[in-house]
Amino acid sequence: MMSRFILVLLCLLTTESALAADPLKQLQQLIAEQKFAAATKSGEQLLRQNPSHSRTRFLTAYAHQMNAQADRAITLYQSLIEDNPALPEPRNNLAMIYLEQGDYDRASQLLVEAINTHPSYATAYQNLSQIYKGIASEAYRRAVSESSQPAKYTHTIKLAAITRLDSVEQGLAADDADSPPTAISVANQETLLIERVKLWARAWSSKDFAAYSDFYSSQHRAKFDTHEKWLAHRRSRILRPGNISVDISDIQVKWRSDNRAVIDFRQAFKSPGYRDRVVKRLTFSLLGSQWKITEEQVLSVL
């Protein structure tokens, strides 16, 4: 498994100078033999010679991660994300560190970002599903026991960049960021959509208007003449003085086609001068590689 992981990693990352080819092979061999302490030393030595080398950074970060040196692994993964924003693998592995630390929100966000960089990156979908299952199991465990200590459920989490192995073995095919998501199961797509609704509500609650508006299609205009007029209206409402709270629950996904789904949920809104509870529906459409809100409506008032 590890040797196949290394093969895919070399194909996924940008082709770079072959100056460090032999030392890099030695680093790969140390990882394959699970000699992670030695691998971290070897990787750090290579990075001193060429600190921007992506493959070396990824392998060294992985070695640190497996050697329980999370801080250094986080630093290396973050630098890779900044320099290679189209690669999902650093985000996936960084998410696993945050998951081990109990930071489920940050881990979930990184996995969603990994999926957004490559819609067919199934490892991130699977890991995100496991996080949701783990959170649900943990809530139940705490409800029926006196222990407040978090349970470990990360044995089902994947730390590898092997999701495009078939393409690689069939001729080192291109890593196309616009691969159609039809290869992903409906269950995984639903996981992504549920997470997007939660992030939409979080952006609204935190009054992050840039993030909030980015969830919508550029053609969305509701009852207004243009998208720009709708944006101006929503900006004036959301950025009013005072805190707001948007809580959602009972999320249900209903498919209309492979590229269109409606999400029904209960929404509780609260601001200094107004509050309500409604059943809301958001319609998401797959535009390019992104799921965007194309319709929004209140189904009933609670």
pLDDT digits (tens, 9 = 90+) for 187-196: 557 777 888 8
Is residue 34 domain-shared with residue 106, that is, in the same domain? yes
| Predicted local distance difference test score (pLDDT) of residue 85 | 82
Asked if the model's pLDDT at residue 260 lies above 50, the reply is yes
pLDDT digits (tens, 9 = 90+) for 154-184: 434 444 432 332 232 232 233 333 333 333 3
Q: Considering 183, 207, 242, which residue would you say is the last residue of a domain?
A: 183
Residues 173 and 248 grouped into a single domain: no
pLDDT of residue 9: 52
Whether the predicted pLDDT of 15 surpasses 60: no
Query: Based on the domain organization, do 164 and 206 belong to the same domain?
Result: no
Residues 157 and 225 in one domain: no
Which of residues 149, 183, 217 is at a domain's end? 183
Say whether both 39 and 150 belong to one domain. Answer: yes
- pLDDT of 20 reads 43
Q: What does the H/E/C string look like for the chain? A: CHHHHHHHHHHHCCCCCHHHHHHHHHHHHHHHCCCHHHHHHHHHHHHHHCCCCHHHHHHHHHHHHHCCCHHHHHHHHHHHHHHCCCCCHHHHHHHHHHHHCCCHHHHHHHHHHHHHHCCCCHHHHHHHHHHHHHHHHHHHHHHHCCCCCCCCCHHHCCCCCCCCHHHHHCCCCCCCCCCCHHHCCHHHHHHHHHHHHHHHHHHHHCCCHHHHHHCECCCCCCCCCCHHHHHHHHHHHHCCCCCCEEEEEEEEEEEEECCEEEEEEEEEEEECCEEEEEEEEEEEEEECCEEEEEEEEEEEEC
| Number of domains forming the structure of the chain | 2
Give the tens place of pLDDT for each residue, 267-292: 999 999 899 999 999 999 988 778 89
Write the CATH number for 224: 3.10.450.50
Do residues 198 and 253 both lie within one domain? yes
The last residue of one of the domains, among 183, 211, 244, is: 183
Q: pLDDT, tens digit, for every residue of 92-147?
A: 888 888 888 878 778 878 877 777 766 555 566 666 666 655 555 444 444 445 44
What is residue 212's predicted lDDT score, i.e. its pLDDT?
94
Same domain, 175 and 40: yes
What is the CATH classification number for the domain harbouring 157?
Answer: 1.25.40.10
- Name the average pLDDT for the chain: 75
On whether both 116 and 226 belong to a single domain, the answer is: no
The reply to whether 122 and 148 lie within a common domain is: yes
**Structural domain of residue 272, as residue ranges?**
191-301
Q: Does one domain contain both 148 and 217?
A: no
Query: Mean pLDDT throughout 216-239?
Result: 93
Instruction: Indicate if 46 and 167 belong to the same structural domain.
Output: yes
Q: Answer yes or no: do 264 and 159 share one domain.
A: no
What pLDDT was estimated at residue 286?
87
In this prediction, residue 132 carries a pLDDT of 59
